[in-house]
Structure 1
Amino acid sequence: MSPGIDLLALRQEVVKTIREAAAMLCGDAAWIADKGGDGLDLVTSLDLAVQAYLVARLPRLLEHSVACGEEEFQAFTGADRLIWLIDPLDGTVNFAAGLPFFAISVALLVDGETALAAVWDAPNDCVYSAVKGQGAFLGDELLVQPAKRSQLAALSSGLLQDLARHHPHGLAELLRSYKVRNLGSQALQLCYAATGALSFVASREAKGWDDAAGALIATEAGLKYGTYRDGRRAVEADQFSLCAAQAEFSALAKIFGKSCALANKG
């Protein structure tokens, strides 16, 4: 996937860079704008400042790489082999409300596949990271799946709406087995699944920049990540994503996939 690139050494540089960016979130108060008009999709001046910093710095770590982020996202071209995909503030609504549950997320895509990832965990001031085929890390410690996983599960608002409207029996089945949460930062939820703190993470509306880094961290820790809807998803599209233990993935995907099928019929 990445001949000639020392990804383990690069991981250390990315962790350092993402921590530098995180320091910017402790500075001046941010202005806040509503992207969607409903108060549910916000952007702040710090989103833009962190993204600008990372877009400028990350390509310096890897020759011939380019960087793009969630804010003012532009689709990749076929010539872009090495792409830094950035979510400068995953959990902006939490951040704007003063809730300390948000993250900075960075993924390196090599020929379209995530090869390296780092996520800064704001509430715990730590960095999760991963290198494809080399494992996932919390700080410098290798992440290992616990023998017993939590019964907490994270479902996105959009997916909960789909289930409630179109597949209430599936939702009832989930609620019999899991305590359902929506913590507001997809990247962190995927990292917490990697530690076993969450049993699974499922989302309809997460975009590629929300999922890419956390998904690699979770899969390198031993989980399975994929879409519960047919077809490969563009970065800017809804991912219809699920991350769960290998043994649970198929049964969960069936429930969420049915909610999609019923929604499409409606």
Structure 2
Amino acid sequence: MKIQLLGNCTILLSSKNSQILFDPYFNNFGNLLYKRTTNVSNYYKDIKHLDAILLSHDHFDHMDIKFLSKFKDKCSIYAPKWSLKPLIFRSKPVWIGDKFVVGDFSITVVRANHICPAVGYIIKSEDLTLYFAGDTYYGKFMKDISEKYTINIAMLPITHYLPPMTMGERGALLCLRELNPRFLIPMHQDIIQRFQFANSTIAINELNDKIRSKKLSTKLIHLNNGEIFNINSNEIENKKAISTFKRLE
């Protein structure tokens, strides 16, 4: 399994035969209220084929209209019911509990707590179970997820705004306690508010120290934009976790 972070919450998952993309957003500017702190990876320009695009919700930093327009006739686009903007791309509406298969990936839609209709996704492939949370706060539903699935890799949106838009450091630690994933990949690290007083940055090193201090078994994998995390089920089972990174730019 190859996991590549292309900026913010844009994740490209590649198996032996299939490739799916989550929450594409490739604008380096942001908008009038939010800005990017790091340029996105240009790798997305080389993407020629996708088996599906999955959206967690329709906020600007999770759906790139230009990119989606390019792929709307080339692959299926999945988005939460009641989210309006994805309708222009003829997206397939999904909601909590829905299950479907895309190539090598078996996908289940799970709950997310956000300020608009939003979902997360459980992805199974190559004997691995991944959790793409999209934008969500910590919630008791995490316990339900942990009871149904053994999460190998959790991709969580760890940041903080005033007002808060996703889970912060405390919420992330609660999630890890509930989910007990083998690996954590933080997302949502390069979008901040233009008004600096409204931002509370999450230091990855400090988060990692707190994971250790709370004696959680999760290993934090910090991907910069464009980096790849390669993992297979043998590494999970043997607890060797021989992770490999590839920096593309």
What range is the shorter-chain TM-score in?
Answer: under 0.3
- TM-score norm. by structure 2 comes to 0.25
- TM-score norm. by structure 1 comes to 0.24
Considering only CA atoms, is the larger Rg found in Structure 1 or Structure 2?
1
Using CA pairs under 8 Å that are at least 6 residues apart, name the structure with larger relative contact order, 1 or 2.
2
